[in-house]
Amino acid sequence: MYRVLTLALVLMSTLALAQKAPTGTVNVLTRHNDNAHTGQNLQETILTPTNVNSGSFGKIFSYPVDGQVYAEPLYVQNLTMAQGGVHNVVFVATEYDSIYAFDADSATINPAPLWHTNFLNPPSVAPVPCSQGSGICQLFPIVGITSTPVINLNTNTIYAVVRTQETSGTTVNWVVRLHALDITSGAEKPGSPAVICSQTGNTGCSLNGSAATFGPHHQQSRPGLLLVPEAGFPQGVLVVGFAGDSGWVLAFDPTSLKLLAAFYTDDEKSHVAGKFPGIPGEGHAGIWGAGGAVVADTSGNIYAVTGDGYWDGTINWGDSLVKLVLTLNSGTGTYSLVPADYFTTSDQACRYAHGLDYGSAGPLLLPPQTGTVTNMIFTTGKQVSTCETTFAGYVLNRDNLGHTGGQISQMTLPNGGGEQSPAYWSTGTKQYVYNGGDGDSLRAFTVSSAGVSTSGVLASSIVFSNGTSPAVSANGTTNGIVWAQDYIDDPDHLPSFTPAVLRAFDATTLTELYDSTQAASARDVAGPPVKFQVPMVANGKVYLGTSTELDVYGLCPCAAK
């Protein structure tokens, strides 16, 4: 496999030798912190609403990277590295098909990556141009590693989906691979990588005998990877979502990297037979959800939200939330991902006709409640008055999703929905869902045994033109802070160059505490933004991936400009 593995030199300075092992307090191993995508870190004891202000908090250092950071950074505390030393480590994946492991606490003592693995061999092995396939960019200008990886601390493994364009003479091959790397060194684990699909031209692969075709020329893994508990698999099951030809959810054995089961949202045979109009398998019902379209509960049920596409509730799943169960097929020893339940918006046909994806925003599994409905899921997506008289998010009973139009309730989103993912936090007496829709304020909805409030109870004075996917840091039920990226660029079609803005809000009032434009002399300026980026908070620091660098914010002394 083409890759370049670079191990940083161990700096044996007196200062480095004198360092004590770092005292991290939390691990962030998957997108939005957990399989429910609550986006909350409840072990943050350093950052508080009192000290997060431009006088005492700001940008403390940054690391350059070789491409856009669409994936959320991940974090492991007190990790013993293969080359020696114990570090808190932040892991960063880029669209230039790189994974970095950086010291999470100091770019002065450790300016080089602890390790850096790249999967390219230019010019023959390159990242994919963003316009490949449909001719429309979804992330400008190249696509490599898009989905947030996932880490298994039991085996010290980080899993990532890597996409490449591989050329030999006049032949172009499109390849999608699953890699498993040792988090202490960046080395491939035994059996890694596994090829998901490798094809030339516009041909594709039939995965596990699927009727639909998986086309690696523009099939893109955008949702964060999950490790889901499953009986018979000691390390759980690795779940990967895709958007492109159609939506896909793939389940792998994380030990062998064997593909166990494949679920697809768009049955092209029904189109060929004339049941539905249109071109079969071209961009129907993709699973993307602002990088967070797939979530899972503690029982191993998987929930995937889909974008526009055909729908019939049996083999075509446009604009739906589908509950999937990994099922052992009797007598065969094989598995299937079986739809056990679903929800579809009542305006699905209108959404499909006007390109208004229900699956443009990631879902959120709410913690168990004490009312009649104990297990709820919060969802939203694109909404305009063309299809709805009320701009709406949907609260669903995940034990009975209700099929078409079967939501428990709808909440009002004043400026429509958008392409972002919500977050959750509880003060102990009040529970909040934080949602940042396109062209809207950051809003908080309350959660109770009766459900979710039908309108926001708190709103920021700041309006996010491109929406935001917030994260929350807190010390349990106290000192809650909502973190959000703000930007004005259009990273779909143009290079981003206006700096991203990191914002912090008091989680109980949504009063702004800090933003990265407040300090003098551009002290806290961030790199150019990447859409759907989620600020990651761990051990008193905030990590923000950008187009050119990983920016790290914390308590001052801050970096000088």
Residues 151, 157, 159: CA angle, nearest 5 degrees:
65
The pLDDT, as a whole number, for residue 215 is: 86
Beta bridge partners of 440: 464
Q: What pLDDT digit, counting tens, does each position of 248-270 carry? A: 999 999 999 999 999 999 876 65
The pLDDT, as a whole number, for residue 204 is: 86
Share of the chain above pLDDT 70, in %: 91
Write out the CATH class of domain 4-555: mainly beta
pLDDT band at residue 384 using 50, 70 and 90 as cut-offs: confident
Q: What pLDDT digit, counting tens, does each position of 195-229 carry? A: 999 998 778 898 988 777 888 887 889 999 999 99
- Mean pLDDT across the chain: 89
Query: DSSP of 141-174, one letter per residue?
Result: SEES--S--EEETTTTEEEEEEEEEEEETTEEEE
Instruction: Report H helices in 331-466.
Output: 348-354
Query: Is 123 in contact with 167 (CB distance < 8 Å)?
Result: yes
Q: What pLDDT digit, counting tens, does each position of 229-246 carry? A: 999 999 999 999 999 768
Query: Is 240 in contact with 249 (CB distance < 8 Å)?
Result: yes
Contacts of 96 (CB under 8 A, 6+ apart): 65, 66, 67, 68, 118, 120, 127, 142, 144
Q: What is the pTM of this model?
A: 0.94
Give a three-class secondary structure readout of 65-106: CCCCCCCCCEEEEEEECCCCCEEEEEEEECCCCEEEEEECCC
The amino acid at 203:
T
Least confident stretch, 11-15, 267-271, 359-363: 11-15
Q: What pLDDT digit, counting tens, does each position of 391-431 carry? A: 778 999 999 999 999 999 888 777 667 789 999 999 999 99
- Using only the alpha carbons of the chain, give its radius of gyration: 22
Beta bridge partners of 259: 252
Q: Would you tell me how many other CB atoms lie within 10 Å of the CB of residue 14?
A: 6
pLDDT band at residue 451 using 50, 70 and 90 as cut-offs: confident
Question: What strands, in cross-sheet order, belong to the sheet with 98-103?
Answer: 4-7, 115-118, 98-103, 86-93, 74-80
Q: What pLDDT digit, counting tens, does each position of 525-560 carry? A: 999 999 999 999 999 999 999 999 999 999 998 876
In eight-state DSSP terms, residue 557 is: S
The pLDDT, as a whole number, for residue 219 is: 86
Beta bridge partners of 79: 87
Coil, strand or helix: which one is 269? helix
Q: What pLDDT digit, counting tens, does each position of 165-195 carry? A: 999 999 999 999 999 999 999 999 999 999 9
CA distances from 206 to 196, 272, 333, 432 (A): 10, 16, 19, 43
